[in-house]
Amino acid sequence: MKNILLVGGTGFVGSHVCEKLVRQGWHVTVPTRRLSNARQLLPLPLVTLLELDVHDEAALLRAVAGHDAVVNLVAILHGTQAAFEKVHVALPQKLARACIAAHIKQLVHVSALGADAQHPESAPSMYLRSKGQGEAALMQAAGIGAAAAFDLTILRPSVIFGAEDKFLNLFARLQTVFPLMPLARADARFQPVWVQDVAAAVVRSLERDGTVSVANTPRIVEACGPDVFTLKELVQLAAQLSGIRKGRGRPVISLPLWMGRLQARLMELAPGEPLMSRDNLDSMQRDNVASGTLPGLQSLGIAPAALRPIAAEYLKRK
């Protein structure tokens, strides 16, 4: 039985990963700042909840000790430069140091499509720059070849969809309220991937024995679905599948960039997590589709699921 430390296990992707790991018969430790955040995991056997702040390096080192592998799913979509660096750069650095200190031989890190570990500063947004910097930090810490400190797998998913997503569900919900859908960067392209496929990719990566090899360290996998959509097409598809206005949805109005940035700025000023930020718009300067130069989910034996039939099921139900 493997013992897995699942950092970020209480989130959208994390709960699916946790369930799949338990089905493998592996013991999973899920650190969380508050135990109340992990109520959905309580019914699962073989899961231990650990109340701690993962940004506390001493506490993180104690948590890592005794495990066979670590999975990092922690990420944010909105925030300041300092917040992105804390979550996407400093935390992976702390995890790498903890893995080395505790002699952990396997680390799976979920990053983002569009991140570039070789040239992180070339990315158009704080989000993508910090994701690339986090990857670079892990690669440097892991090393390569026979002298590598640990086996590293980096998964780069496109936008992730599923029954609990804040993506297609959001597009559908907004169209039940507003008569029009003003949309900046309506032609930005995405290659959405099912949350179950991302979770399966994490498990397949962990099924390796953790032995470091020259050929496979580090391994980067682009986790994408089979189909490419523009943002406008995804908004229209959400309406169609959820039956809004008998599937016609609301008219989508493409905004010029300056107006889109103004709209995003106003959303940032609203209470709570913004629906859209200027940094999100910056990220969409880079198409969120597979490069074709790196392995995909097929390299892990996963045939990625198409969006339409799965989204139709949960959007119609809601």
Euclidean distance between CA atoms 98 and 92, whole angstroms: 10
Residue 134, exposed/middle/buried by CB under 10 A (0-12, 13-18, 19+)?
buried
Cα–Cα distance list, 229 to 77, 187, 191, 245, 251 (Å): 20, 9, 6, 22, 17
Residue 45: predicted pLDDT: 92
Q: What is the dihedral of CA 63, 115, 283, 306, to 10 degrees?
A: -90
CB 82 within 8 A of CB 65: no
175 alpha-carbon distance from chain centroid? 25
**pLDDT recorded at residue 209:** 58
pLDDT of residue 214: 41
Q: Quick: pLDDT tens for 137-150.
A: 999 999 977 778 99
Look at residue 318 in the predicted model and tell me its pLDDT.
Answer: 64
pLDDT score at 245: 87
Residues 306-316: pLDDT tens digits?
999 999 999 98
pLDDT reported for residue 42: 86
What stretches in the chain show pLDDT beneath 70? 209-218, 318
Question: d(Cα 184, Cα 46) in Å, to the nearest integer?
Answer: 45
| Residue 115 φ then ψ, to 5° | -70, 150
Q: How many angstroms separate the CA atoms of 289 and 56, rounded?
A: 35
Whose CA is closest to 154, among 119, 223, 108?
Answer: 108
Sign of CA dihedral 139, 223, 6, 57: positive
CB 221 within 8 A of CB 154: yes
Q: What is the DSSP letter of 136?
A: H
The torsion angles phi and psi of 55, rounded to 5 degrees, stand at: -85, -10
